[in-house]
Structure 1
Amino acid sequence: MPRSVVGLLGSRPCCRTSGLREGEVCWEIIEGMVLSYDNAECREVAAELLRRHGELQAEANITSQIREFLVRTGLVESSDIREEISPAEGSSNSVDLAALDTLIEVKRRIGNGIVPDSAHVAQLDGYLTAAMDASKGVRIGILTDGKHWLLRWPNAVMINTSPPYAFVLTDADKWYALYEWLRDNALVVRRDIEPSSEEIRDQFSPSNPLYEREIDTLRAMYEKYAEYETVAVKRRLWEDLLRTALGEVVQGDEFDDLFVRHTYLTMVVGIVVQATFGLDVNQMAENDPEDLLKGRQFSEATGLHGVIETDFFAWPIEVGAASLIKTIARRVARFDWSSPPTDVAATLYQTVIPAQERRDLGEYYTPRWLTKAIVEEVVADPVNQRVLDPACGSGAFIAECVEHFLNAATQQSVPETKLFELLREAVTGIDVHPVATHLARAAWVIAARPAIEKSVSTAVTVPIYLGDSLQLRYQSRDLFAANNVTIGVGDDANTELVFPVALVNHAESFDQMMVDVAEYIESGEDPKLAMGDVPLTDGESETLSETIDKLKDLHAQGRDHIWAYYIRNLVRPITLARNKVDVIVGNPPWINYNQTTDVLRDELVNQSRNVYGIWAGGRYATHQDVASLFYARCVDLYLRDGGLIGFVMPHSALQAGQHTKWRTGEWKARGGARTLSVDFQVRKAWDLERLEPNDFFPVPSSVVFAERRGEDGKARPLAGTVRQWVGATGSANVRRVDMEITDTSAGVLSPYSNLSRQGATIVPRVLFMVNEVSNPATVRVGGTVTTEPRRGTNDKQPWKGLELTNLHGNTIENDHIFDIHLGETIVPYRTLVPRQALLPVKQTANGISKDSASNSGIDSRSLGRRMQQRWARINQVWEDNKSPSNRLSLLERLDYFGNLESQLDWRHEPGNRPRRIVYTKSGEPTAAILDDNDAVVDHLLYWVTAATDDEAYYLIAVINSRVLYEAVQPLMSKGQFGARDVHKHLWRLPIPEFDGGDSLHVDVADAGRDAAEGVERELVNLKQRYAERLTVTIARREVRKWLRESAEGRRVEEVGGALLG
């Protein structure tokens, strides 16, 4: 391709310089012209710009050369640039350059190098704010002196001088890098961008300055108007639903930030959906930007209602966000939406909400290869079967079901005019997550475009509903009386909205009427016009008329017609339960009961225990998750007898104790009032643990199928064999192998199970674990130690981010400091240097002096005076920062299940078992003898007492052996990287109690002693070899290598194998 000079035309860049090999040339095609990376003319323009900067020439000279650079590189046309213009009508100020939507303020020097003068920044910020207030859009600003370039936007508080927020043109050869920086971060010039996942992530990522510009603007608007009634009611309803969806995983100000980002996300998704249907969102933004959030033009053009509407996230149109809406619409319009991917909404969500945050929220997305496999497995007749996803999330299953339907309809030559109505009946979704429904609706309509285009319907709603599939927040008996549905608003007047059951049961009529009511109220027309030809009795019409009056009053009070949207969605799960479906698919919530809100938690436990009889409780209580209840409840409420369900489940559903009763397939209500039966063997469950890489969910997963047998049918349990998938994740050549299920809740075989106990829950670490520091005082208090909190890489939020200044330099009585052993202080056969912690008990005490009348739970007289003060401080930190769902006091957390008290009791009275060994809770089993009887064991270790040294060596030899690890792996719970937690699973192996008269037992003990002595020698060598670089990871790796290669290690495997058979 010949090199040529850039034409003075609009630009359409197509490539970047990243990834170029030495000697290669990058070419940019600009409206038929070619821009090469080594273009001499562009380099000369940049050189002249740097010369004028270096000579400290007048601002006007630098400005004219910047203009020349913008035009010569084709970033803008000459007509797109205006000089010395006012940022807003009536303003006496003027900005040096305006290029497209970007304001450029030029100085001879912006400050000290790239660090700007605050006055210059304030000047540009003032221009940007004035432009936004004048509804000219949320613009990007550039402060520059020709060499240093700094991005700004409205409400950008911090000054960021690092890339991509700033750029330094160090020499003329870097002109192309400046061109790219301006193109990608400041001047919105790219058009017809393919909406690939990569491009969407790049354009809407939180690391993109354009995203920051928009989110900062929206955040500032929310902070200003958060107390407005119309905003507050949306925020409250959103939070109520989000707590139901996610449990108590977000708190405090995090909720406000998440609400803002959810609002931003739904704004973008809504505008994208409109663009995919061919609407000119740029033109709409100019004529009526608010309608991009209301969706009136979209509904008129497509006949689709309930896709774009004024729900929780429409508050920006009520607080003057027209400029922001225009700006977002312009960005969306840069893409070519003629053939959008069906997962575009999900991609946007995963872009705006980072991966770690989604993991913290418990939100995970089902990959396409898995949704496709499940849908094909259970939906045999997509045209004639009704399918429900009761936890539809981002719409992965919804899109798959829609495409499955359309493919089948094409093969069966279904008349095109009937496609849409059949599809509306065929694929339905529900989710209680306020954003999920936006994503799923987008997935539904984008996948369904071929059917929508052929539809003859003029007004229909999309069958994706915001609702509680478990029907726990509102039981049907609470809402539905014989003739009416009643919903409380929750205001001071105890307002109730009442609807005739006859109307609610006709989903399409009810939905459309509620949409019309909302639109009439919004436009100021009589909302009772929406009653139209709805067939009701006189009494029903009177009831409905009174309710519409109340909705109108709520809107007049500033409480908004959000209630029309809220009610329409709220009742849908209950009406669906009256008209059961043929197939259920999906991926239910994987949150533990203890993460749920207080009110819901009690009802969840009640449902599990009393309605379905699947509650395990006891030692499984903390592991019990909602997935199995969600499975049972959805089968009960929505699936017809003979219908099929296919749900993605955690791998533990196949074998762990917390799911034992659920796996029977016979779910019995307490008192024998009712039994619901399913056949788990109608399809073999899929075990997905052996797929690699196994990173598509946070823990290994499975897929469990069942057929509903009804209340009189015969159940068949989830037992026998499963179909294990083996191979590369998502590959077409994955092997499926039938394997036996290992029930990890099988009966205990070893007597050591009753002798092993988990250590104390010394968390949050930063409140207890300490490092000793020097006391600066020249005269020190005797019998004390000065400490600071010990920080660790595994500390979790919010504790990780706390400053804890009042815990630094604490001088505490010596007898409150304890040596602590954790997982990180144990290697095979030996302990390492223990950590230290300050505990609310004296070393000389026989136990914790508890006082239920005290706020801290401890008799303060049992503590040293200094420790009393520290205990009060950390108790306050705990109460201020613990999760709202956590009902435990700090002492209850520390001594959970008496796991600290039991160690103190044993220390005082060891009985006939004076020796103690410890082993790790997770990972490859690692055990050692604990010689210090005063040391406290943390919950990441289990401790077992022994009568003699021989018994102790016997136990650590068995636990450290490879033969035990291989035997226990099938019983261990699984993590993302394989078998993870040991707990007490090893005692399900036939490990007999030590018998000194049994020669094999003695051989094992002797082998353990020899191995321990060998490891001690090896640790001495390692300390000399690695010195300060020796970590527990290195120590374990090297010790295990020595055990594999040494005679002592091989002897352990030999006798250990003989013992375990």
Structure 2
Amino acid sequence: MINKCSKINSEWIEQIFGLSSSIFEESLIYLETQSKATAKKRFDEKYQIWSKQFEGIYGKNIEERLFLKHTYLAQIHLILILIKFFPDKNPKPLFKFYKEIQNEDYKKFDLAEFSFFNWINLDENIFKDVHDSIGNFSFHFQDLFCRIYQEIFYASTRHKIGEFYTPPSLVYKMTLDSYQFGEKILDPSCGSGSFIISIMREIIQSNKDNNAKLSALNKVYGFDINPLATLTTKSNILLNLKENWNKELDDVKHDFPNLNIYILDSLFPQEEKSINGKIDVNTLYHDFDQIIGNPPWLTYKDLLDKAYQDKIRKLADDLNIKPKSQYITHIELSSIFFYSAAKKFLKKGGKIFFVVTKSLLNGDHCFKFRSFALFKDLEIWDFPDNYFFNVEHICLKAKYIGENKISIKEKYPIKVKIFDENIDLIKITEYSSLKIKENGAKIIKPMNELKIIEKVEESPYKKEFKQGATLVPKSLVFFKIEKEKNDSLIISSDEDIISRGKKKWRIEFYEEEIEKLFRFATFLNRDMVPFYIKKYRDVFLPIKKEDFEFDLEHLKNNPYAYRFYSKMNTIYKEKKKETSDINDLFSNLNYWNKLTKQINNKDFLVVYNSSGSTIKSSVIDTTKERIVIGSQNYYYSTDSINEAYYLCAILNAPILSKYIRVIKSSRHIHKRPFSFPIPIYDEKNEAHKKLALTGKKSHSLVHDIVYNNKRIKSKKVRTLVFHKLKKIDVLTKKSLFK
């Protein structure tokens, strides 16, 4: 229960109404029952409308249960608004009003989005529980729904839609730093309304008179493509302003600011003649003093709609920030938002301030973005230890200047503020780029780190290392052996793979039979520690062992494998992304021929992880059994065991990981190790021979460590072989950084 002296905040809202609450459980049972009974017709009608709207966000695999959760939150919004705006009404008459308002009267509160969810009202007992839970308590002036919105909307879809909840402390710091009273300001992807509410709080708590405050409140705008987001933001505004606006208000028409929150795709506003039938989009172009927010952290390949992908690619080209063809799938939507929102909505001289991923500063795909062609007076907020998100992030601020031919070199170096976990300023410094051209800039880093990057010189090994095959969806091809027969295996799903897989691909099979010819060995990133592969996994591949080719006739001559492949191939075709042009399972496994080309591998493989903060590498002896390398790892094949352990030692060197962290993009390692001059192995070079010998000894040592502790992690292994790594570091410096 709420303490009598307390004010209700977002934590209380989550506790009272969140997915673990009794009110939610009771409501969902009621909604599920009604959706199949008396309200079925209305439910079906609204579900069709809702699903059409939300397919662009969730994809076509949306479920009725998600719609019920959205309905629940929408109904809670309406009930809370009624309780706050009509505090003198007892629960019974207020419930009657709540039922009546479901039809058209909700528009009185400017809640057009509610039309998606008004197929039913919660019953009187639930209504009373909500009323009793909130009563006459007051609210903290904050985003009241950030936590419950995150719970309901993000739970299974956060990665899909690229929304990341912005901590209130960061929202407050950004607002305090950038907002000036009376500015016309826009959050183009407003979510639950965190930035909107923070700005309104600054306005209300200022020492201006009420007329000035009302005028300033009317200049706060929010857009979002998601109707539940705009509904949540409006509910936030209504509850917070009713609580804190110095007027006795009984509805939103009496001295209440406009609710300038609209369902709109900020990247393509021109596709709407008017917003919600109320406002001409054209009147908002070049009309804002500031844009602030946290746009979606999606990349091009995350988008669920092929047509939308095409639009994004064209928009990136129009904005002159489209990357080279090999990086197209990595286009960051936040980079598109930064340029496009500013170009469409800001006045010249207006400011933009976004929370974005750090890859905008250091990703190869953002080279043109870093020309900052439309901007000047750039400022970066950096958070060295990633305090707020599990993805490296920054805040990026700039002044919009339009199509102005200011030389890119005049925009560097860039002012940078470094903050600690409490968002207290540690220091002010400058970042620059190693190479600045008129159409873009290479990686942006602190000046001292640029000195390290000056050592960058491509290794001849770069073109020799290859990425492994895309052995996905794993659930369709990885297996455990239940029983061995003479020429065949009885297999079932690998539970470890299923438990870690995406919900969409948690496909299980039981006691299927395949011929032994189609059993191959592989490993995952998590199966490797420095210098050693802890375990290998069984994987079904529909190829011939002698040449790694897919031969349908050969497959048909092995009826068990043919039947199993046909079954898995059908599942793949049914569940693959609509945006994918890969139409069968084998083509996916062999994308870019990364599977079949492994037939050419030599006796020894050097492998390392393609992503992570620290490199781990191992040597695999394939003379006894051929090992297939998956796309989580890069590999190099050689007939020289000494060359293999030489490379393995260097790739495990702590100094190499340290330098790679300076130059790599935020998410992946890829071929970054070979941006440093790793020389070709030379049997006559003493340092090279010592590295190879130390690599072999480290392999033997880690083999014994793993034998006694199969679950040991890479961090612990590094601690136990610290002295070996120290020696490797000395030799690596001698070989690479002379």
- Shared fold, TM over 0.5: yes
Aligned to 2:341: 634
Greater Cα shift, 193-202 or 587-596: 193-202
**Is 2:547 aligned against 1:836?**
no
Structure-to-structure mapping, 1:727-766, within 5 angstroms: 727-728=420-421, 730-732=422-424, 734-739=426-431, 743-744=442-443, 749-766=458-475
**Is 2:508 aligned against 1:803?**
yes
Cα distance in 1 between the residues matched to 2:264 and 2:550: 48
Aligned to 1:239: 51
Cα separation, partners in 2 of 1:386 and 1:199, compared to 1, 3 Å:
closer
Structure-to-structure mapping, 1:208-247, within 5 angstroms: 208-224=21-37, 228=41, 231-244=43-56, 246=57
C-alpha offsets along residues 815-840 of structure 1, whole Å, 9 cap, x if unaligned? 21112133244333333442221101
Cα distance in 2 between the residues matched to 1:274 and 1:866: 64
**Is 2:698 aligned against 1:1009?**
no
Instruction: State the shift of 1:796 in Å.
Output: 1.4
Q: Contact 1:195–1:335 at 8 Å: present in 2 too?
A: no
**Is 2:116 aligned against 1:312?**
yes
Aligned to 2:220: 427
Structure-to-structure mapping, 1:496-895, within 5 angstroms: 567-568=276-277, 574-578=281-285, 580-596=287-303, 597-609=305-317, 611-666=318-373, 677-679=374-376, 682-691=377-386, 694=387, 696-714=388-406, 716=408, 720-721=413-414, 723-728=416-421, 730-732=422-424, 734-739=426-431, 743-744=442-443, 749-775=458-484, 780=485, 782-792=486-496, 795-798=500-503, 801-804=506-509, 808-849=510-551, 864-889=558-583, 890-895=585-590
Cα distance in 2 between the residues matched to 1:798 and 1:761: 19
Match of 1:376 among 172, 176, 180: 176
For residue 678 of structure 2, give the secondary structure of its aligned residue in structure 1. coil
Match of 1:288 among 83, 97, 105: 97
Match of 2:131 among 299, 318, 330: 330
Q: Contact 2:113–2:231 at 8 Å: present in 1 too?
A: no
Cα distance in 1 between the residues matched to 2:361 and 2:66: 35
C-alpha offsets along residues 939-990 of structure 1, whole Å, 9 cap, x if unaligned? 111002346333322211211111111111122344xxxxx63211111122
Cα distance in 2 between the residues matched to 1:737 and 1:283: 62
Aligned to 1:1030: 710
Q: Contact 2:653–2:728 at 8 Å: present in 1 too?
A: yes
For residue 190 of structure 2, give the secondary structure of its aligned residue in structure 1. coil
Cα distance in 2 between the residues matched to 1:643 and 1:363: 25
Structure 2: give runs of 5+ residues left out of the alignment. 435-441, 445-452
Instruction: State the shift of 1:1060 in Å.
Output: 2.4
Match of 2:669 among 960, 963, 982: 982
Cα separation, partners in 2 of 1:361 and 1:327, compared to 1, 3 Å:
farther
Cα distance in 1 between the residues matched to 2:125 and 2:296: 34
Q: Contact 1:820–1:835 at 8 Å: present in 2 too?
A: yes
Structure-to-structure mapping, 1:72-91, within 5 angstroms: none
Cα distance in 2 between the residues matched to 1:811 and 1:800: 21
C-alpha offsets along residues 97-150 of structure 1, whole Å, 9 cap, x if unaligned? xxxxxxxxxxxxxxxxxxxxxxxxxxxxxxxxxxxxxxxxxxxxxxxxxxxxxx
Instruction: State the shift of 1:660 in Å.
Output: 1.3
Cα separation, partners in 2 of 1:348 and 1:324, compared to 1, 3 Å:
farther
For residue 631 of structure 2, give the secondary structure of its aligned residue in structure 1. coil
Cα distance in 2 between the residues matched to 1:345 and 1:744: 38
Cα distance in 1 between the residues matched to 2:403 and 2:573: 47
Cα distance in 2 between the residues matched to 1:285 and 1:398: 29
For residue 23 of structure 2, give the secondary structure of its aligned residue in structure 1. helix
Aligned to 1:925: 615
**Is 2:200 aligned against 1:402?**
yes
Q: Contact 2:82–2:94 at 8 Å: present in 1 too?
A: no
Cα separation, partners in 2 of 1:740 and 1:236, compared to 1, 3 Å:
same
> Alignment identity in percent?
20
Cα distance in 2 between the residues matched to 1:324 and 1:602: 49
For residue 500 of structure 2, give the secondary structure of its aligned residue in structure 1. coil
Match of 1:203 among 16, 27, 44: 16
Cα separation, partners in 2 of 1:14 and 1:584, compared to 1, 3 Å:
closer
Cα separation, partners in 2 of 1:1038 and 1:663, compared to 1, 3 Å:
closer
Normalising by the residue count of structure 1, what TM-score does the alignment of the two structures yield?
0.62
Q: Contact 2:58–2:157 at 8 Å: present in 1 too?
A: no
Cα separation, partners in 2 of 1:942 and 1:296, compared to 1, 3 Å:
same
Normalising by the residue count of structure 2, what TM-score does the alignment of the two structures yield?
0.87
Cα separation, partners in 2 of 1:877 and 1:280, compared to 1, 3 Å:
farther
Structure 1: give runs of 5+ residues left out of the alignment. 1-12, 16-190, 300-304, 480-503, 505-565, 667-676, 850-857, 975-979
Structure-to-structure mapping, 1:892-903, within 5 angstroms: 892-903=587-598
What number of residue pairs does the alignment pair up? 708
Cα separation, partners in 2 of 1:843 and 1:14, compared to 1, 3 Å:
closer
Cα distance in 2 between the residues matched to 1:758 and 1:881: 25
Cα separation, partners in 2 of 1:294 and 1:1043, compared to 1, 3 Å:
same
C-alpha offsets along residues 392-426 of structure 1, whole Å, 9 cap, x if unaligned? 11111101111223344x2xx44x245324421x2
Q: Contact 2:475–2:507 at 8 Å: present in 1 too?
A: no
Q: Contact 1:825–1:1032 at 8 Å: present in 2 too?
A: no
Cα distance in 1 between the residues matched to 2:461 and 2:55: 42
Q: Contact 1:690–1:725 at 8 Å: present in 2 too?
A: no
**Match for 1:725: what amino acid?**
I
Aligned to 1:367: 167
Cα distance in 2 between the residues matched to 1:459 and 1:792: 56
Cα distance in 1 between the residues matched to 2:548 and 2:152: 54
Cα separation, partners in 2 of 1:258 and 1:226, compared to 1, 3 Å:
farther
Cα distance in 2 between the residues matched to 1:737 and 1:264: 48
Cα distance in 1 between the residues matched to 2:266 and 2:726: 56
C-alpha offsets along residues 694-723 of structure 1, whole Å, 9 cap, x if unaligned? 2x3241211111222112442647754452
Q: Contact 2:83–2:131 at 8 Å: present in 1 too?
A: no
C-alpha offsets along residues 186-243 of structure 1, whole Å, 9 cap, x if unaligned? xxxxx89742344322221322333211111112223347863x54454344334334
Instruction: State the shift of 1:270 in Å.
Output: 2.2
For residue 436 of structure 1, give the secondary structure of its aligned residue in structure 2. helix
Instruction: State the shift of 1:471 in Å.
Output: 1.6
Q: Contact 2:74–2:114 at 8 Å: present in 1 too?
A: no
Aligned to 1:534: none
* Greater relative contact order (CA < 8 Å, ≥ 6 in sequence): 2
Instruction: State the shift of 1:844 in Å.
Output: 1.4
For residue 751 of structure 1, give the secondary structure of its aligned residue in structure 2. coil
Cα distance in 1 between the residues matched to 2:328 and 2:622: 33
Cα separation, partners in 2 of 1:648 and 1:919, compared to 1, 3 Å:
same
For residue 538 of structure 2, give the secondary structure of its aligned residue in structure 1. strand
Instruction: State the shift of 1:813 in Å.
Output: 1.7
Cα distance in 2 between the residues matched to 1:1037 and 1:271: 51
Instruction: State the shift of 1:869 in Å.
Output: 0.9
Cα distance in 1 between the residues matched to 2:515 and 2:298: 42
Cα distance in 2 between the residues matched to 1:652 and 1:1043: 33
Cα separation, partners in 2 of 1:470 and 1:243, compared to 1, 3 Å:
farther
For residue 981 of structure 1, give the secondary structure of its aligned residue in structure 2. coil
**Match for 2:563: what amino acid?**
Q
**Is 2:634 aligned against 1:942?**
yes
For residue 472 of structure 2, give the secondary structure of its aligned residue in structure 1. coil
Aligned to 1:54: none
